[in-house]
Amino acid sequence: MTYQEQLDKSRIPQHVAIIMDGNGRWAEQRGKQRTEGHIRGVEVVRKIMENAVELGIKYLTLYTFSTENWNRPEQEVTALMGLLFKNIEEDVFIKNQVRFRVIGDIGRLPAPIQAKLNECMEHTKDFDRSCMVLALSYSSRWEITRAARILAEKAVNGEINPSDIDESMVSGVLNTNFMPDPDLLIRTGGEIRLSNYLLWQSAYTELYFCDTFWPDFNMEELCKAILTYQKRERRFGKTGAQVAEEKQNQN
């Protein structure tokens, strides 16, 4: 049986976040320029988006360019921006009825990219089959710092009381406020770290790491990650016995 056939279709994670890592090493292993890896990576993004829709994943959040990635050699940053501009194709989203969103410090991106992103978000805003989110110029520390600033301004303006600030208010001023927290976070490329991605939101996310470089990631790998997720017991701080009892009461 394939991994896909083994999946419990009634327990597909609602939100899957992916750290798409390993493009550069994939290329270097083949004696190619790092950019070649990014080009292949973009093709995989398109396929995985379609796979996610097919599996019934409601939110797919892809770490595409981090705040720290601005520190890469200028030539690589320029190549990545060029690829981004070329590949924001609203036709693909419209065909799949997928809503497109971005999270991150979008104001740092070149103006033509910002315009294209905004247009694509506007033209897909009514689709609700699935939502694909690109994290661009994104990092959690940037996002949480921005949230602190927003709440401080509201307090100074008298709109809120500092003592009213609770977790849901903080979540409400994060860039991700339109979606649930990720159920599953996948990192490809062999590194076991989060690299400043969705740190607040992944407090209770199941983490999955694989060695496959992003350009080699595919539907089978995605299903393998989901299958591992389905074998885990999410306890949210409770005991296994409590979780079992809750499950029984639901049935």
> Where does this chain bind Mg ion (CB under 5 A)?
21
Single residue of 4, 14, 114, 195 touching ligand IPE by CB under 6 A: 195
Q: Report the C-alpha gap between 248 and 245 in whole angstroms.
A: 5
- 229 lies in the site for ligand IPE, by CB under 6 A: no
In angstroms, give the least distance from the CB of 194 to ligand IPE: 8
In angstroms, give the least distance from the CB of 162 to ligand IPE: 34
- 218 lies in the site for ligand IPE, by CB under 6 A: no
- Number of residues written out for the chain: 251
- 21 lies in the site for ligand IPE, by CB under 6 A: yes
98-103 vs 130-138, strand pairing mode: parallel
Stretch that binds ligand IPE, among 1-9, 107-115, 178-186, 189-197 (CB under 6 A): 189-197
Q: Report the C-alpha gap between 47 and 52 in whole angstroms.
A: 9
For the question of residue 8 being annotated catalytic, the response is no
Q: Is 16 helix (H, G, I), strand (E, B) or coil?
A: strand
Residues 6+ apart with CB under 8 A from 195: 19, 21, 63, 66, 68
Q: Report the C-alpha gap between 37 and 27 in whole angstroms.
A: 5
In angstroms, give the least distance from the CB of 87 to ligand IPE: 13
Q: Which residue has the tokens 């949210």?
A: 236
Q: Which residue has the tokens 């080009």?
A: 39
In angstroms, give the least distance from the CB of 15 to ligand IPE: 18
DSSP string, 37-80: HHHHHHHHHHHHHHHHHHHT-SEEEEEEEEGGGGGS-HHHHHHH
Count the Cβ atoms, other than its own, within 10 Å of residue 203.
10
Stretch that binds ligand IPE, among 4-12, 18-26, 123-131, 163-171 (CB under 6 A): 18-26
Nearer residue to ligand IPE within complex by CB, 3 or 85: 85
- 65 lies in the site for ligand IPE, by CB under 6 A: yes
Q: Report the C-alpha gap between 7 and 203 in whole angstroms.
A: 25
Nearer residue to ligand IPE within complex by CB, 124 or 188: 188
Per-residue contact flags (x/-) with ligand IPE for residues 24 to 53, judged by CB under 6 A: xx----------------------------
For the question of residue 91 being annotated catalytic, the response is no
- 20 lies in the site for ligand IPE, by CB under 6 A: yes
206-209 vs 59-66, strand pairing mode: unpaired
In angstroms, give the least distance from the CB of 103 to ligand IPE: 12
Residues near ligand IPE, by CB under 6 A:
19-25, 63-66, 69, 80, 189, 191, 193, 195
